[in-house]
Structure 1
């Protein structure tokens, strides 16, 4: 379980890895052609988020009023084991769409990871995230955009250009936030962070410290907001109470990028 990554976006169907599943009696794991874990689900709590870095992808909740969440729109680029998609749909009661290239991943998630069928409030779209994010239906409409697009080798993000991040920014509402999973111990991390900062503005970007596995979640806001520590603490306590996410712990390891650079 050396890697906690998800499938590529830009590949032909013939190049996509085989998808497999394993259980250890506590959790179920998704694999993409290797023993590495690409996503997981607690067998007794299938709609909770198991992995630490995936929980951190929910940190956008710190920047919006909790009572407004259910009226907002969520979009995931990369389905993985459907943890984020299920959480938004089942727990937050948000209109939710996921974009996934690999049809095997969708089928496995429906069969083995409790992903509900499509409905008026949940949709899984088979397609290339780079193409789908440019569609007019998303422009200025997404409040929570979550990007986790690695290939099965987990070397670097498959979609990682300034043009791609600009497309992501264009999809966001004024209060919208993009959260991205980057592998913080790889040499590509700083390059990816620089591209995100160039597109969104460094003052709009926040970053977690890496998890033990090396995953670093980066948040980028369409419009900067710098709530006080007291405001963030109050919001974190509310998020934790409502949705049982470890939000108060997030505040110890989440910092504005510009502040981090300034403080050296």
Structure 2
């Protein structure tokens, strides 16, 4: 079982989670505890641009951190059941004590264990798998291997999507994105980096993602009205980077 020295700090109305280093594992604005404070966490929810609601019904999170993604899904997507796999039990305790992680095991289940082992051993299927697991040295370890990504593929539903937080400025980023592409037979797309340097990769194995940018904008407007999450900056960066065929985004 992995254990980290966990620090909680506050600055300018924002509470931060650290693993015994300056590297931020997550953040929460105290006045908006259920919003997504860090840009990369907002980008990890860009799957809402790629599928029509009500989606996802079942979400799996590998890595809890302060619980930002789990809380957002819990509060803003009430039809979604959430499973979180977190390797360090201390992280769950801190998320509940300091970051307001809800205690509702019927909708939000936290399993203490190894995320890769969970993927390789089970057979439950999920609509959205979000992978955001790193140690105190920003290493993903076995969570960034071809067998792990292949296991993720096998656990996706027909409408399923995988979202992976890649540290785009780190060495090995290109190899990581290639492993995801290989596991999904090329059906993967790396979004342009956020200002933080985090880069989010998406992959699909079942129903195709095939949306015009007008459709993406419509879904972004719906998402913002329903949850306050603004994904229009993501669309703008995709347009600048031209990560699409013609006027359509396809995976």
Using the size of structure 1 for normalisation, the TM-score is 0.86
Instruction: State the Cα distance separating 1:36 from its structure 2 match.
Output: 1.9
Using a 3 Å threshold, how does the CA distance of structure 1 residues 257 and 230 change in structure 2: closer, same or farther? closer
Measure how far apart 1:211 and its partner are.
1.8
Work out whether 1:217 is the aligned partner of 2:217: no
Inter-CA distance 196–257: structure 2 relative to 1 (3 Å threshold): farther
Cα offset for 1:154?
1.4
Pairing 1:176–2:176 present: no
Query: Unaligned stretches of 5+ in structure 1?
Result: 1-11, 260-264
Aligned length: 241
Counterpart Cα distance in 2 of 1:256 and 1:97: 34
Deviation of 1:253 after TM superposition, in Å, equals 2.0
d(CA) in 2 for partners of 1:207, 1:257: 8
Q: State the match for 1:7 in structure 2.
A: none
Paired with 1:237 and 1:189, the residues of 2 have a C-alpha distance of 31
- Which deviates the most, 152-161 or 187-196? 152-161
Listed one character per residue, the Cα deviations across residues 25-67 of structure 1 (whole Å, up to 9, x for unaligned) are 411000111122110111011111100001100011112212x
Are 2:175 and 1:191 aligned? Answer: yes
How many Å separate the matches in 1 of 2:72 and 2:143? Answer: 24
- The structure-2 alpha-carbon separation of the partners of 1:128 and 1:179, relative to structure 1 and needing over 3 Å to count, comes to same
| 1:159 match: secondary structure | helix
Q: Find 1:50's aligned residue among 22, 37, 43.
A: 37
Q: Which residue of structure 1 lines up, in the alignment, with residue 62 of structure 2?
A: 77
The unaligned stretches of length 5 or more in structure 2 are: 246-251
Q: In the alignment, what sits opposite 2:219?
A: 235
1:21 paired with 2:8, answer yes
- 2:143 is paired with a residue whose SS is coil
User: Is the 1:149–1:158 Cα contact (8 Å) retained in structure 2?
Assistant: no
1:163 counterpart SS class: helix
Q: CA–CA distance in 2 between the matches of 1:183 and 1:258?
A: 22
